[in-house]
Amino acid sequence: MELGPYILLASLEGSVTAAVLALTAVGLSLVFGVMRVVNIAHGEFFMLGAVIAWFVAHSLGGNAALGFAAALIIAPLLVGALAIGADMTILKRLKYDPERTIVATIGLLYIIQQVTLMTYGPEARPVEAPFNTRLAIPWFEWGDDGFSLYWPWGLSTTSYKLAVIGAAITVLMGVWVLMTRTRIGLVMRATQADRDMALAFGIPVERVYAMVFGLGAALAAFSAVLIVPIQQAHYLMGADPLLLSFIVVIIGGLGSLPGTVLAAVLIGLSDGIISVFFSPTLAKILATLLVGLVLVFRPHGLFGVRNG
């Protein structure tokens, strides 16, 4: 394949990765930013979203679009509720102590993963996309007879992949509006800035924590529902998003929403392009190297704020 179409294809593939990654990472970043909890089980909330999507789509049967639409609503709600339950029964009891919550969420990771294995099984199952048309993309060239358009082999995307990017952007805008323009967002930011002062001003901090934990998990579940028609629901699928989310959150700056989105686009696109030109392993190596460099030269991330 020629260089131009090659880069375009790589960017398109990378954009899908970036879109899903941004959603997942924003959830992780939100939880850390507001609660100071490093949620190791975040990838499992992602996986649960995909698995629930399969259950919903499968039990509704019939129309693919209907099943998918139902999954898009039900999966994040269920996963969010589960996360709120986990927050109230586990994290609250640990008083959100940073070290102990890490251990607790590791435990949560194994519990969710193994329960899924015991109930849903080890198979990878597909969810049908609501719509999926292949869109071939033309490319231009300067031939002997001047400028001409042609259709390179393999240069294409699907309508569904474009919809994933669109949906991710919409939800991210929604989160941004929620954080900056609403009362709930104000309360969250107040809690993030100073927990004790927020408490003194009568903000129900524990309820805010439960809501944030639920919202973070729901975002992961939502992005999993988006990706499951492209990939497939599998009980081990949470590992990669967790690792990549951490990379993104560290590069972008823990707790910074714009930083997280920017880092997700950076990692997603570079993963797409480097994978296509060199190898996927090199893409992961470079991402990890970038994390190392950021930690050395900008320990608070590109957009991070130094917190006292």
Which parts of this chain interact with other proteins (CB under 8 A)?
Answer: 1, 5-6, 9-10, 13, 17, 117, 121-124, 126, 128, 132, 134, 136, 153-154, 156, 158, 230-232, 234, 236-237, 240, 272, 275-276, 280-281
Nearer to other proteins (CB atom), residue 158 or residue 260: 158
The type of residue at 159 is: S
Phi, psi dihedral angles at 158 (to 5 degrees): -125, 155
Nearer to other proteins (CB atom), residue 150 or residue 201: 150
Nearer to other proteins (CB atom), residue 237 or residue 267: 237
DSSP structural state of residue 141? E
Nearer to other proteins (CB atom), residue 143 or residue 308: 143
Nearer to other proteins (CB atom), residue 122 or residue 202: 122
Residue 137 CB, nearest approach to other proteins (Å): 11
Residue 147 CB, nearest approach to other proteins (Å): 21
Residue 87 token pair = 């927050």
CA dihedral 288, 290, 293, 299 (to 10 degrees): -90
Residue 224 CB, nearest approach to other proteins (Å): 12
DSSP state letters, 240-262? HHHHHHHHHHHHH-TT-HHHHHH
Residue 1 CB, nearest approach to other proteins (Å): 4
CA dihedral 249, 49, 167, 132 (to 10 degrees): 130
Residue 169 CB, nearest approach to other proteins (Å): 20
Q: Going by C-beta distance under 8 Å and a sequence separation of 6 or more, which residues neighbour residue 261?
A: 22, 26, 172, 252
Phi, psi dihedral angles at 150 (to 5 degrees): -145, 170
